Structure 1
Amino acid sequence: MTMHQRILTFNNGFNFRDLGGYKTLNGQVLKWNNLVRSAHLSYFNRFEQRELYRYGIRAVIDFRSTSEVALYPDQLTSLIKYIRIPVFDNDITESNVDIIEARKVFSKDPRAGFNRMLSVYRQFVTDEQAQEAFHQFIKKLCLHSTQGGILFHCSAGKDRTGLAAIYLLSLLGVPESTIYEDYILTNKTSVKRIKERLRFAVEADLGENYLHSIYDLSTANKCYYDQAISLINSKYGGMQNYLHDVLQISNSMVEQLKYLYLEK
């Protein structure tokens, strides 16, 4: 693992990305080794835990629900601070959906998974608990000061983590085209997991409808991204209004974020 590398590789984890190097609209650049997004860390061995620390990570923010954490607790060195900020009480993104339960829900309609995700992205924007969670996330970043890098994640590092990254990069002044590129990069960094879920569905003979749904549940999609952004624009008057008025991110918090995470 080398410095200044966008995609980070761990054998027992996936969807690791350093947000460093992204340029803002006014030409500033995000610091490397300071903001990392990923999927869960529950399979990390001791070597990988130390590698994460050596990379500069000093705190991990976990967006998962209590039940998700109980099933798949992060494996971290005690040198890294662990912070839980659940976006929802349950995993409505179906990142760890039980196969038997999923078959009942997703085997009848090939668009069931797709429609579920559209609904989830609407909830990300409008649900008060989600709004408060994302506010607390930004607040934690502001208070982190110079203690080292922060990694934030959910189960797959795709949806809750994706929205968190969208909000964070928007606050730092990164262009929307770059923000979308970062969002959709999940499909490249999660290829192995996506293939494994699809292969299991095929081998278990769960049917074409289920196969379509599990793909839609396992991938990032421009339609999901657009669902959130269009709702923010139509209902709240745009991203900056949403960040300031709904997520309650003050101007001083924005300045602190820029001070901490942008190159001087």
Structure 2
Amino acid sequence: MNTLVNFRDLGGYKTPSGVVKKGKFFRSGELVSLSEKAKDALVNTYQIRYIFDFRQLDEVEKRPDDILPNSKHIHLDIMKNFEHSTSLKSFKENDIDPDSMMIEVYKSIIRSKTSQQAYKEFLETIIEDDSAILFHCFAGKDRTGIGAAFILKLLGVSDEDIYTDYLLTNQMRKEANEVYLNVYRQKGASEEKIKAMETMLYVKSEYLASAIAVIENEYGGFDNYIENEIGLSTACVEKMKERFII
């Protein structure tokens, strides 16, 4: 799977009532120019039946996902019409502090009605059909990271393990990130600029913490947020636990 960056299974984490099933929830970066071996693994080894693409429309148009047989592709633009963007292009054009920008992006995702509706459709689909799913954005770290955190939190995984999964991105994107940064070094980018770009390519616990703080402080906690803003009933959450915890 070396042509698919940041790919991993969310299964195996402990919950109060068991363990999250393996082979059901997969996260990754974009599915672009995959090797035939990688495609075969996704279809036949992992038996992916749903692919959720969280990227913005212009990202999808410029770099469309590869088509996988026997898989349904669903585009859910988590950041539709956003003022902020996680893209390196946006960062380079606006020349702003990358940490501050990422924190604002995370907060905006939590508050956005468009984002909430997209995550609702995502969660409702996986609750109603227990087929294996793969969800991704460009790098599989921010929009995807929040989606993964929602799944794990709904299933009762500890905050410690949710952060562990979230921060795995820094290990799993390291090689791809270094290739990207070296291209800009060769183009003559300053080390200051490289350092700022590096920040954009990795994740920090503070980013996810900023999203969680908005949920706690502005929406009365995760359960209230899921029921009142995302729109998932308690019955849906219980059904999800019954299906995906063993």
Scaled to the shorter chain, the TM-score interval is: over 0.9
Q: Which of the numbers 108, 117, 141 marks the counterpart of 2:126?
A: 141
8 Å contact from structure 1 (residues 46, 77) kept in 2: no
Q: Counterpart in 2 of 1:68? A: 59
8 Å contact from structure 1 (residues 124, 130) kept in 2: yes
Matches within 5 A, 1:147-226: 148-226=131-209
Q: Which of the numbers 70, 83, 86 marks the counterpart of 1:79?
A: 70
8 Å contact from structure 2 (residues 43, 69) kept in 1: no
Q: Which of the numbers 23, 43, 50 marks the counterpart of 2:40?
A: 50
Work out whether 1:94 is the aligned partner of 2:90. Answer: no
- Gap runs ≥5 in structure 1: 1-9
Structure 1 length-normalised TM:
0.87
What is the alpha-carbon distance in structure 2 between the residues aligned to residue 36 and residue 226 of structure 1? Answer: 22
Q: 1:262 to 1:125 in 2, by over 3 A?
A: same
8 Å contact from structure 1 (residues 66, 90) kept in 2: no
Secondary structure (helix, strand or coil) at the match of 1:31 reads coil
Q: CA deviation digits over 1:125-170, x for unaligned, max 9?
A: 111111111111111111224xx31111111000000000111111
Secondary structure (helix, strand or coil) at the match of 2:14 reads coil
Q: Return the letter of the residue paired with 1:74.
A: D
8 Å contact from structure 2 (residues 30, 137) kept in 1: yes
- Per the TM alignment, residue 27 of structure 1 is displaced from its structure 2 partner at its CA by 3.8
Matches within 5 A, 1:222-241: 222-241=205-224
Q: 1:22 to 1:138 in 2, by over 3 A?
A: same
Identity over the aligned pairs, expressed in percent? 32
Secondary structure (helix, strand or coil) at the match of 2:19 reads coil
What is the alpha-carbon distance in structure 2 between the residues aligned to residue 200 and residue 169 of structure 1? Answer: 36
- Per the TM alignment, residue 48 of structure 1 is displaced from its structure 2 partner at its CA by 1.7
Q: Counterpart in 2 of 1:19? A: 10
Q: Which runs of structure 1 show a deviation greater than 4 angstroms over 4 or more consecutive aligned residues?
A: none
What is the alpha-carbon distance in structure 2 between the residues aligned to residue 220 and residue 250 of structure 1? Answer: 31
- Per the TM alignment, residue 102 of structure 1 is displaced from its structure 2 partner at its CA by 4.7
Work out whether 1:262 is the aligned partner of 2:245. Answer: yes
Q: CA deviation digits over 1:53-93, x for unaligned, max 9?
A: 11221111111111111111111322111111110226844
Q: Which of the numbers 11, 25, 28 marks the counterpart of 1:38?
A: 28
What is the alpha-carbon distance in structure 2 between the residues aligned to residue 79 and residue 46 of structure 1? Answer: 15
What is the alpha-carbon distance in structure 2 between the residues aligned to residue 72 and residue 168 of structure 1? Answer: 27
- Per the TM alignment, residue 41 of structure 1 is displaced from its structure 2 partner at its CA by 0.5
Q: Counterpart in 1 of 2:94? A: 105
8 Å contact from structure 2 (residues 110, 116) kept in 1: yes
Q: 1:139 to 1:196 in 2, by over 3 A?
A: same
Q: Counterpart in 1 of 2:113? A: 128
